Structure 1
Amino acid sequence: MTSEFKKQLLIVAHAPSANTRLLRDAAFQGASHPDLEQVHCVVKAPLEAGPDDVLACDAILLGTTENLGYMSGALKDFFDRSYYSVIEKKQGLPCALYIRAGHDGTGTQRAVESIVTGLRWRWVQPPLILRGEWQPSFADQVEELSMTLAFSVESGIV
């Protein structure tokens, strides 16, 4: 493995519970796959992440819970604090999203997609909605999503 990374993947994930922390950790694990030699992964909670983090990254993975049919307040706060500082500088930023939804997740998806459209970021894959009761396979799906995004960034596909 080279000692100097050329690309950075930012994971901004709201993880208020043990299960959502498993998802965040799975995202980090996927983006830190041993075959990824040129991608450095930075993981931040939405209340800790800001515009400087977005400006420093080459791709972003967003993770949120479904809260009353909307994204988490923490992720909304991240967008509120970052939006105008990055809108002109990060157009086309490759992005992906996972939603831990107790119900259907569609309102959450629409809300995040609306903001991402305004930012002119580019979806690498359709949002991953993890619906209903907790399933251990949710972590595998998030790990695969993150790994796919990281490999796409490293290889220059996105």
Structure 2
Amino acid sequence: MARKNLLVVAHAPSPNTHRMLDAVLKGARHPDVEGVEVSFKPPLEAGPEDVLVADALILGTTENLGYMSGALKDFFDRSYYPCLERTQGKPYALYIRAGHDGTGTRRAVESIATGLRWGAVRAPLLCQGEFKETFLTDCEELGTYLAAGLDAGIF
């Protein structure tokens, strides 16, 4: 049976957001998930060719002035039209490191994903306010959830 590909595209500009990314990757690479290859690319390095070979995605962004990071927006700008007709139904999950409420960021990413006709496999993970260590547990669980679901053929 062929291994499935899980692509993580996340903007992690600070030590804490890098810890969150590491937690997502740790969860996605859980030892019980054997049939999934996990790869990570920063948004400025990821492109449509990466999305086309991925079976599912985890997107991560900071909240920047009530919007997604410029890096993730750049990824979408370069990937949207090449992926539009070829990735419909692609499962994805989103996590947001929000200093405020994250609603504008969530709305922006969900709007683009809806345009691409991607399917959210769960509600976005909003890590709001002051940094908490529980964000790391939540991120790890998100990674495991998506990878295990992909491995089991649920997504």
TM-score, with structure 2 as normaliser: 0.98
Give the structure 2 partner of residue 43 of structure 1.
40
Give 3-state SS (helix, strand or coil) of 1:63's partner.
strand
Matched, 1:84 2:81: yes
The Cα of 1:25 is off from its aligned counterpart by 0.6
Task: Decide whether the 8 Å contact of 1:5 with 1:37 is kept in 2.
Answer: no
Q: 1:65 aligns with which of 55, 62, 67?
A: 62
Distance 1:45 1:5 in 2: 25
Matched, 1:117 2:114: yes
Structure 2: gaps (5+ residues): none
Give the structure 2 partner of residue 25 of structure 1.
22
The Cα of 1:17 is off from its aligned counterpart by 0.2
The Cα of 1:6 is off from its aligned counterpart by 1.1
The Cα of 1:5 is off from its aligned counterpart by 5.5
Distance 2:36 2:9 in 1: 16
The Cα of 1:15 is off from its aligned counterpart by 0.3
Matched residue type, 2:114? T
Distance 1:107 1:149 in 2: 24
Q: Note the alpha carbon deviations across 1:82-115, whole angstroms, 9 max, x for none.
A: 0001111110000000000000000000000000
Structure 1: gaps (5+ residues): none
Matched, 1:106 2:95: no
TM-score, with structure 1 as normaliser: 0.96
* RMSD over equivalenced CA pairs, Å: 0.9
